[in-house]
Amino acid sequence: MTLLLDQRTDPEVVASGGLHVLVVGVSDYTHLPGRDDVTDPTTFRLTKLESPAKAAFDFYRWIETHQPRLPRKIGSLRVLLSPSALELQKCPEMTSVGAAAATFQQFDDAASAWRGDASAHRDGMAWLYFAGHGLRRTLTDGLLLLADFADPSKQNLFRHCAELEDIFYGMAPAAPDDDVARTQVFFIDTCNFRPPSLGNFGNPVGTKVFQAPMAAVADDRIAPVFSAARPGASAYGQPGEGSFLSRALLRCLEGAAAESDDGSTAWRVSTSSLSKRLQQDFVWLVGRQVPQGVTVGGYAADAPLCSLPSAPEVEFGVRFEPQVAREVAAVHLGGEQVGPPVPFPRSCVIRGGIHQLHVAFGQGYADIHEGPRLYAPPRVTRTLTPKATEGTP
């Protein structure tokens, strides 16, 4: 089963198109060796993986449990998972959702049905999340490897690969009366390198899912493509725990990428705010130093992703120069003291919004007063250099 949530006949979905989501996570590549096995140069020394299926599962779970915050009511939610043994051991509920395996045939069927559902209304939205192996083909295009990649019974090594370009352009309006959702978001959580031996295949061709015609119609979509790795680079994850892109993405959706026009109400995450956060704060979002950088391609205009029920958390930190000043400092934001005055913690959590900073020193330094400023996620770190007065310690 791939269609885990079906609300396509809901009047709200019928009226406004709804949100149609396809989530794919491939860890257990049937025909690839395990991580500790001898690798095969004919399959580019690729091995089974241990984090993409969990990454996809986490994304699916987040969508399912945050429906009221999404910009459209969910019309359809399709999930394909091929988890590794380690992922199943760490997250047994992955089996209970009943998602079909992420083979090429299942992907072909699910993607076709996904496009069909998304074609009901141009005001609808379509999201794709794909986690697994990827091979950079040219430029921004890549092959997405499904679970039965490198099937020895097939002459074509790439038979069970989809092409990112085919998916992207296949989701474009194909005729003047094509009402395919004009707002689409693609998350491609794969490596983005081109093994030298891939050149032996010329320009390797996967199997087309859409084979989009060159339509004489304007492609007026908003359709950003978030890629987990820069061209030539790898994407990473933690075995059994999901990918770093998935972790960063979910933190962003939880509020780390939230913005508010007036700084007090209506905090929301959009593709634009997500793009900024993922590119500027990836290391902070995943909580560790990783040689990975997110890129954003496609048609990167702005579209809403989710709203927040309240002001998001902001990591707030203060450093004092000289350091000794912190021992007599009481830091207030908007009239409320944040953190104990002595010693001030390295950072604490505040709520996003408009605040005025006031630091009272009691002795030794002149107090610091600032005008109102917007404190927005994910973090605000300040270095304060108070002026010494008489009695400076």
* 293 binds another protein per the rule CB under 8 A: yes
Integer Cα distance of 52 and 129 in angstroms: 11
Per this entry, what is the length of the chain? Answer: 393
Give yes or no for a contact between 267 and 308, defined as CB atoms under 8 angstroms apart: yes
Does 301 sit near another protein (CB under 8 A)? yes
**Is residue 272 near another protein by the rule CB under 8 A?**
yes
Determine which helix (DSSP H) or strand (DSSP E) holds 273, and give its type and residue range.
helix 271-280
Taking the complex as a whole, how short is the minimal distance between the CB of residue 383 and another protein, in angstroms? Answer: 3
Alpha carbon 323 to chain centroid, angstroms:
38
Amino acid at 175: A
d(CA 251, CA 257): 8
251 three-state secondary structure: helix
197 binds another protein (CB under 8 A): no
Q: Please report how close the Cβ of residue 299 comes to another protein at its closest, in angstroms.
A: 4
Token digits of residue 50: 């241990």
Q: Enumerate residues 153-172 that contact another protein by CB under 8 A.
A: 165, 169
Instruction: By CB under 8 A, name the one of 64, 179, 234, 299 that touches another protein.
Output: 299
Give Cα separations from 124 to 21, 42, 68, 121, 151 (angstroms). 11, 42, 16, 5, 37
Residue 221 contacts another protein per CB under 8 A: yes
Of 287 and 372, the one with the shorter C-beta distance to another protein is 372
**Residue number with CB closer to another protein (58 or 259):** 259
Do residues 355 and 369 touch, judged by C-beta distance below 8 A?
Answer: no
Locate 80 and state its tokens: 């394909």
287 is an interface residue for another protein by CB under 8 A? no
Enter the tokens of residue 364. 């030794």
Rounded least distance, CB 254 to another protein, Å: 20
Question: Looking at 49-57, 70-78, 122-130, 133-141, which segment touches another protein (CB under 8 A)?
Answer: 133-141
Only one residue has tokens 């690798």, namely: 39
Contacts of 340 (CB under 8 A, 6+ apart): none
Smallest gap from Cβ 260 to another protein, in A, equals 9
Closer CB to another protein, 127 or 168, in the complex: 168
Name which of 27 and 271 has its Cβ closer to another protein. 271
**Residue 302 interacts with another protein (CB under 8 A)?**
yes
DSSP notation for 330-347: EEEETTEE-S-STTPPS-
Does residue 138 belong to the site contacting another protein (CB under 8 A)? yes
Query: Can residue 330 be called a binding residue for another protein (CB under 8 A)?
Result: no
- Does 3 interact with another protein (rule: CB under 8 A)? no
Regarding 351 and contact with another protein (CB under 8 A), the answer is: no
Contact 35, 48 (CB under 8 A): yes
Q: Which is nearer to another protein, 217 or 360 (CB)?
A: 217
The single residue among 3, 4, 330, 384 that binds another protein, judged by CB under 8 A, is: 384
Pairwise CA distance, residues 40 & 33, whole Å: 8
- Answer yes or no: are the C-beta atoms of 329 and 344 closer than 8 Å: yes
- Is residue 290 a contact residue for another protein (CB under 8 A)? no
Q: Name the strand (E) or helix (H) holding 85.
A: helix 85-90
According to CB under 8 A, which residues from 32 to 71 bind another protein?
Answer: none
From the CB of 243, what's the least distance to another protein, in Å? 20
Task: Assess 276 for contact with another protein (CB under 8 A).
Answer: yes
- Contacting residue, 195, 231, 239, 364, with another protein by CB under 8 A: 231
Backbone angles phi and psi of 22, in degrees to 5: -125, 120
The single residue among 3, 157, 296, 348 that binds another protein, judged by CB under 8 A, is 296
Give the C-alpha separation, 228 to 190, whole Å: 6
Binding flag, residue 178, another protein (CB under 8 A): no
Which residue carries 């269609």 as its tokens?
3
Task: Give contact residues for another protein (rule: CB under 8 A).
Answer: 138-141, 165, 169, 194, 203, 214-223, 230-232, 261-264, 266, 271-272, 275-276, 279-281, 283, 291, 293, 295-297, 299-302, 319, 354, 368, 370-374, 376, 380, 382-385
